């Protein structure tokens, strides 16, 4: 089986789907890797490193699509709706695509891929089960998001993070409030604490209190009825509007007392819940910073603008939508481990074999043999007839995807 890797075409995307280090393991599994020349350069992986590990370097993008049985990408057409259309013309019926696909948002591109006869497996729908932990690309990339969000805030904030006792007096530490203690939130806590900030955190799931405190942060306890706040997989459920309003009210003081607020609450396929209102922003001290990791779906802050940095009421609000691409070396390294492990899971005797009794395959398979086979995605594209496919969780952990 030949697996192809091409240079990502999404604007600003510097990651690459596979890195040289995973090529030998794929080769041991009967998988040959072909790479578009320069595909890994922006992430810090030159062609020579791939070649040294056994990958074949092809000069033309079209040649990779022509030779490969499976194409591994960071962003397939669904997550790259504009520039990705050019690749649709290069793909052939029966080919398999593996990568982020935004299937709960990009219903149109998913239907296009089905009509083209492509088999699509979406990395963001990987089930949160023990067997799939090493394939969980959302978590690996959320780790990067949480880390980088703190650095973005530190760069903008007009004060230092740690407490310092100097001859010129004692400098008070920065106070940070992190909303959402999923993977991104926990990494943000750990990074902020390493830099010396005093950190408070909130999550609708009381079960994460111990994790928050183990990292040296204080868990904000609010008097809400949170039974059923998470599902069996550990995802935080979307709350109703009344609960969201009560949550906002109780967090107002915490936001006002903070120099930095980092928000991470996102729900796949839905608009991000507004947790920080314009009024709450107005209550913050001038010079404060908000980094909204849910900006791609509208943002947790009412004043967030995706991919923009704005100043409102003297507060700087940053709305990044692709922080992992700003740390492309390690983001690619982690993603390559996820996708190569997934690929080997699907491979037997050098061939791709989709076992529909397997939960991992069931939940990630979106299209096959000209059909949209995933139940929730079928509903989104207006197909009522049921097919053999798995359901995807209705919820998400409180971290940006």
Catalytic site positions: 128, 133, 136, 139, 235
Q: For residue 79, what are the CA distances in angstroms to 7, 50, 57, 261?
A: 15, 26, 25, 28
Residue carrying structure tokens 């991000």: 272
- The phi and psi torsions of 38 (rounded to 5 degrees) equal 85, 5
Two tokens, residue 45: 């992986």
**H or E segment to which residue 7 belongs:** none
> What is the rounded CA–CA span in Å between residue 79 and residue 62?
20
Two tokens, residue 173: 């530490």
Sort strands 96-100 and 70-75 into parallel, antiparallel or unpaired: parallel
> What is the rounded CA–CA span in Å between residue 31 and residue 341?
12
Write out the DSSP string of 234-274: SPBPPPPHHHHHHHHHHHHHHHHT-SEEEE----TTSPPP-
In contact, 240 and 225? CB cutoff 8 Å: no
Q: Tell me which residue of 77, 87, 71 sits closest to 108, measured CA to CA.
A: 77
In this structure, the number of other CB atoms found within 10 A of the CB of residue 365 comes to 23
> What is the rounded CA–CA span in Å between residue 260 and residue 177?
6
Sort strands 315-318 and 309-312 into parallel, antiparallel or unpaired: antiparallel
What is the CA angle 155-159-162, rounded to 5? Answer: 95
């Amino acid at each position: 089986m030949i697996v192809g890797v091409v240079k990502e075409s999404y604007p600003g995307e510097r990651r690459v789907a596979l890195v040289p280090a995973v090529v030998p393991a794929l080769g041991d599994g009967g998988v040959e890797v072909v790479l578009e020349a320069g595909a890994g350069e922006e992430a810090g992986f030159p062609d020579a490193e791939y070649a040294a590990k056994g990958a074949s370097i092809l000069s033309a993008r079209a040649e990779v699509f022509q030779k490969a049985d499976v194409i591994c990408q960071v962003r397939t057409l669904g997550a790259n709706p504009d520039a990705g259309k050019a690749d649709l013309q290069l793909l052939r019926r029966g080919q398999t695509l593996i990568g982020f696909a935004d299937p709960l948002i990009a219903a149109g591109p998913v239907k296009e891929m089905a009509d083209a006869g492509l088999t699509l497996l979406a990395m963001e729908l990987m089930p949160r089960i023990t067997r799939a932990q090493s394939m969980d690309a959302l978590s690996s990339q959320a780790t990067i998001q949480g880390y980088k969000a703190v650095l973005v805030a530190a760069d903008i904030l007009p004060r230092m993070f740690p407490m310092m006792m100097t001859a010129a007096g004692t400098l008070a530490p920065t106070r940070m409030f992190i909303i959402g203690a999923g993977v991104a939130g926990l990494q943000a806590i750990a990074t902020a604490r390493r830099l010396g900030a005093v950190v408070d955190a909130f999550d609708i799931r009381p079960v994460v209190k111990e994790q928050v405190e183990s990292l040296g942060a204080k868990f904000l306890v609010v008097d809400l009825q949170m039974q059923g706040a998470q599902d069996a997989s550990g995802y935080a459920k979307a709350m109703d509007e009344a609960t969201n309003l009560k949550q906002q009210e109780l967090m107002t003081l915490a936001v006002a007392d903070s120099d930095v607020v980092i928000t991470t609450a996102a729900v796949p396929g839905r608009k991000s819940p507004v947790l920080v209102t314009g009024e709450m922003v107005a209550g913050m001290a001038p010079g404060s910073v908000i980094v909204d990791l849910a900006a791609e779906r509208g943002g947790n802050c009412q004043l967030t603008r995706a991919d923009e940095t704005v100043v409102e009421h003297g507060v700087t609000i940053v709305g990044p939508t692709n922080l992992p691409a700003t740390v492309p070396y390690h983001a690619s390294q982690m993603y390559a481990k996820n996708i190569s492990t997934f690929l080997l899971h699907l491979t037997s005797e050098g061939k791709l074999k989709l076992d529909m009794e397997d939960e991992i395959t069931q939940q990630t398979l979106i299209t096959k043999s000209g059909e949209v086979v995933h139940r929730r995605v079928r509903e989104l594209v207006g197909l009522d007839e049921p097919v053999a496919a798995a359901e995807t969780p209705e919820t998400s952990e409180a971290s940006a995807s």
